[in-house]
């Protein structure tokens, strides 16, 4: 092995003998820009796409609702049958014992105009009606057996899914209407078959 005369000995390498250099800031604005909550941005986008905590009448024509509306109705080539999209539901909305089912149990009627108001089961308080702009004291409907409100029910909890290597998913249920027609060979008019 040939020694390089320009290279110093390995003793003392990596050890700082002087103090660290002082950083100088030449920026004009002293405050830095605040980083947005990137998880919340993704969560809001996900909620806007799925609209899973809304009943079908409350859903906008965006996201998954828009996807189904753009695909349906589907007709066969002879035009004797059609498939029409009606609604979808994501997940099983039940109380803890399973006696109370359905997302409609998290809705109440406005005392002034009678329209549906979304009820938060974890913080029952006065809720503003978007239709008539009056405040309503609403409480969620509780199960008569377990005393719990309706919530999204999972088959397994999050920790159990991680331990077993399973996905933490919920079912997507789509309601589709099949209509079968009879064509009159003489006039060519279609009538719905019973």
pLDDT value, residue 155: 86
Positive or negative, the CA dihedral 183, 184, 190, 193 is: negative
d(CA 84, CA 174): 11
Confidence of residue 185 (pLDDT cuts 50, 70, 90): confident
Better-scored residue on pLDDT, 89 or 124: 89
Per the structure, the complete domain to which residue 77 belongs is given by 38-91+171-194
Any domain includes 157: yes
Q: Are residues 97 and 87 in the same domain?
A: no
- 73 and 130 co-located in one domain: no
- Looking at the fold, whether 126 and 148 belong to one and the same domain comes out as yes
- The reply to whether 154 and 107 lie within a common domain is yes
Greatest mean pLDDT among 63-67, 75-79, 91-95, 183-187? 63-67
Question: Is residue 87 domain-shared with residue 98, that is, in the same domain?
Answer: no
Q: Is residue 70 part of a domain?
A: yes
Looking at the structure, do residues 69 and 122 belong to the same domain, yes or no? no
The per-residue pLDDT for 115 is: 83
Instruction: Please tell me whether residues 102 and 132 are part of one structural domain.
Output: yes
Clarify whether residues 58 and 148 are in a common domain: no
Residue 11 lies in a domain: no
Q: Is residue 111 domain-shared with residue 161, that is, in the same domain?
A: yes
Same domain, 79 and 105: no
In a domain, 29, yes or no: no
**In-domain check, residue 183:** yes
Identify whether 45 is part of a domain.
yes
Question: Quick one: pLDDT at residue 45?
Answer: 94
Residue pLDDT, tens place only, 17-53: 778 888 887 777 666 778 888 999 999 999 999 999 8
Residue 61 and residue 117 in one domain: no
Average model confidence (pLDDT) across the chain = 85
Residue 138, burial from CB neighbour count under 10 angstroms (0-12, 13-18, 19+) = buried
Please give the model's pTM, rounded to 2 decimal places.
0.69
Asked if residue 46 and residue 142 are part of one domain, the reply reads no
Each residue's pLDDT tens digit, 121-166:
777 678 888 888 888 888 888 888 988 889 888 888 889 989 999 9
Residue 9, in any domain of the structure: no
Please determine, for residue 6, whether its predicted confidence score (pLDDT) is greater than 80.
no
Predicted local confidence at residue 14, as pLDDT: 61
Question: What is the spatial distance between Cα 18 and Cα 118, in angstroms, rounded to a whole number?
Answer: 65
Average pLDDT over residues 108-131: 81
Domains in the chain, number: 2
């Amino acid at each position: 092995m040939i020694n390089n005369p320009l290279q110093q000995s390995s003793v003392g390498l990596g050890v700082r003998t002087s103090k660290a250099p002082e950083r100088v800031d030449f920026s004009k604005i002293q405050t830095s820009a605040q980083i947005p909550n990137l998880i919340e941005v993704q969560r809001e986008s996900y909620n806007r796409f799925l609209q899973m905590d809304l009943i079908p009448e409350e859903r906008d024509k965006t996201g998954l609702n828009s996807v189904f509306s753009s695909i349906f109705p589907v007709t066969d080539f002879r035009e004797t049958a059609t498939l029409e999209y009606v609604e979808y539901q994501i997940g099983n909305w039940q109380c803890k014992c399973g006696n109370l089912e359905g997302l409609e149990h998290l809705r109440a009627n406005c005392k002034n105009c009678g329209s549906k108001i979304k009820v938060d089961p974890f913080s029952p308080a006065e809720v503003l009606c978007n239709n008539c702009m009056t405040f309503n004291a609403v409480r969620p409907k509780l199960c008569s057996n377990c005393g719990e409100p309706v919530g999204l029910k999972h088959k397994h909890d999050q920790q159990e899914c991680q331990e077993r290597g399973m996905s933490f998913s919920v079912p997507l249920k789509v309601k589709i209407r099949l209509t079968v027609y009879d064509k009159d060979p003489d006039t060519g008019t279609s009538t719905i078959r019973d």
